[in-house]
Amino acid sequence: LNLEWRIRNLPYSLNVYSVTVDKDTHSLVVRTSNKKYYKKLVVPDLERLDICLEQENVAFSHKFNTLIITVRIITCLHISQIK
């Protein structure tokens, strides 16, 4: 299962962006090295199911002034939804 966010109107190149996992708040932190953009993306469903985000499962790309963030979620999410 993959979750994806698209943040539009971000004109900087890919090497300016940093997407990290904040384990304390179960969120993704998007920031730029030039300090022009900062955003916390909270995932309440993952917090409710007590699923932790892992940095190695986060990928991001940049196309047409849009930052695309993809997070791969482990398959135990499917099992918990069935119960």
Mean pLDDT on 13-29 = 93
Place 80 in a pLDDT band, splitting at 50, 70 and 90: low
Token pair 């962006």 is at which residue? 17
pLDDT in tens, 22-60: 988 889 999 999 999 999 999 888 888 778 889 999 999
What does the pLDDT read at residue 43?
84
Share the mean pLDDT of the chain.
88
Going across the sheet that includes 58-63, the strands are 2-8, 66-72, 58-63
* Cβ contact 12:31 at 8 Å: no
* Cβ contact 27:20 at 8 Å: no
Q: What is the pTM of this model?
A: 0.84
